[in-house]
């Protein structure tokens, strides 16, 4: 049986162009629902979801994807029960410690986006150590969106630019899409080519609102803990078959 990664490479080669997405973003939804349908506590779904994160990260590294951004904790998730939030913080700290070997072995460059001021100090310490360790790795950028909200990110940039205009260090005419891009949390990363959502919901949930402007969407009913390597590769293969117009027309239309 042909290796699916090799199949994607062959398809791109036949077309004379790279049809592989440079940047993939994933809304990892359905952890709690997966657990509850199996009579397990919601936190078990989050625990199992970490295994899927490892698999996806390794596969993205194999494919030499430039960046993969995972929606770990939204700014709205603080509304969840305190016990669940405490477990999520524990799981995040544990991930930052226990996955260091995998991150280094795969050559992944860890990056985080979102607010830091609401995260516990022990989580920040573990996170910063892993960020520093992987900073010079040559491979895929693994971007974790933690305490992240798309509207909050854009508001943060707007306030920053407004201050600079008021101080006279920036003029209104200087404000452009490129300038805003360079002030976002994702500065330096390519725009998202492919956005994958598990769990079946048909919405973007305040995730990378600016960066998703022309992304291809791929949604599955499968919950995150049961999302497989084959489905991930299938989403990438589906992306390769799509015509991306960016508001224009294909040459043959």
224 carries a ligand binding annotation:
no
From the list 29, 137, 147, 193, the catalytic residue is 29
Q: 244 pLDDT band (50/70/90 cuts)?
A: confident
User: Does 32 appear as a known binding residue?
Assistant: yes
Q: What is the pLDDT of residues 130-144, one digit of tens each?
A: 999 999 999 999 999
Give the long-range contacts of residues 58-62, CB within 8 A, separation 24 or more: 58/102, 58/106, 59/5, 59/229, 59/232, 59/233, 60/24, 60/140, 60/142, 61/106, 61/107, 61/108, 61/139, 61/140, 62/5
Active-site annotation holder among 66, 77, 191, 206: 77
Task: Provide the whole-model pTM.
Answer: 0.90
How far is the C-alpha of 120 from the C-alpha of 123, rounded, in Å?
5
Q: What is the DSSP letter of 210?
A: T
Answer yes or no: 182 catalytic: no
The CATH superfamily of 19-147+191-241 is Decaprenyl diphosphate synthase-like (3.40.1180.10)
| Percent of all residues in the chain with a pLDDT value above 90, rounded to a whole number | 87
Q: How confident is the model at residue 43 (pLDDT cuts 50, 70, 90)?
A: very high
Q: Which residue has the higher pLDDT, 3 or 121?
A: 121
77 catalytic residue (yes or no)? yes
CA distance 130 to 65: 20
In Å, how far are 42, 67, 107, 108 from 136, measured between CA atoms?
Answer: 36, 15, 9, 9
- pLDDT tens for each residue of 73-121: 999 999 999 999 999 999 999 999 999 999 999 999 999 999 999 999 9
**Confidence bin at 19 (pLDDT 50/70/90):** confident
What are the residue ranges spanned by the domains of the chain?
Answer: 19-147+191-241
| Annotated binding residue 169 | no
- pLDDT value, residue 10: 53
Per-residue buried b or exposed e for 42-71, using 16+ beta carbons within 10 Å of the residue's own CB? bbbbbbbbbebbbebbbbbbebebbbbbbb
pLDDT of residue 49: 96
The answer to whether 33 is a known ligand-binding residue is: yes
């Amino acid at each position: 049986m042909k290796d699916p990664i090799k199949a994607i490479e062959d398809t791109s080669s036949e077309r004379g162009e790279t049809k592989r997405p440079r940047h993939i973003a994933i809304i990892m939804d359905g952890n709690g629902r997966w657990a509850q349908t199996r009579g397990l506590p919601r936190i078990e779904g989050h625990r199992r979801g970490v295994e899927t994160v490892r698999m996806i990260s390794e596969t993205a590294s194999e494919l030499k994807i430039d960046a993969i951004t995972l929606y770990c904790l939204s700014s709205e998730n603080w509304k969840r029960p305190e016990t669940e939030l405490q477990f999520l913080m524990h799981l995040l700290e544990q991930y930052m410690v226990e996955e260091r070997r995998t991150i280094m072995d795969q050559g992944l460059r860890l990056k985080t986006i979102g607010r830091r001021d609401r995260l516990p100090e022990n989580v920040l310490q573990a996170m910063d150590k892993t960020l520093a360790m992987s900073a010079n790795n040559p491979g895929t950028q693994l971007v974790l969106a933690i305490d992240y909200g798309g509207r909050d990110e854009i508001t943060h940039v707007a306030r920053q630019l407004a201050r600079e205009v008021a101080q006279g260090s920036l003029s209104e005419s200087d404000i452009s899409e490129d300038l805003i891009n360079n002030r976002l949390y994702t500065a330096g990363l390519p725009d998202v080519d492919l956005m994958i959502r598990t769990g079946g919901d048909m919405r973007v949930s305040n995730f990378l609102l600016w960066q998703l402007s022309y992304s291809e969407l791929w949604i599955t009913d499968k919950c995150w803990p049961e999302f497989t390597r084959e489905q991930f590769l299938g989403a990438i293969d589906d992306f390769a078959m799509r015509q991306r117009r960016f508001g224009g027309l294909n040459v043959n239309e």
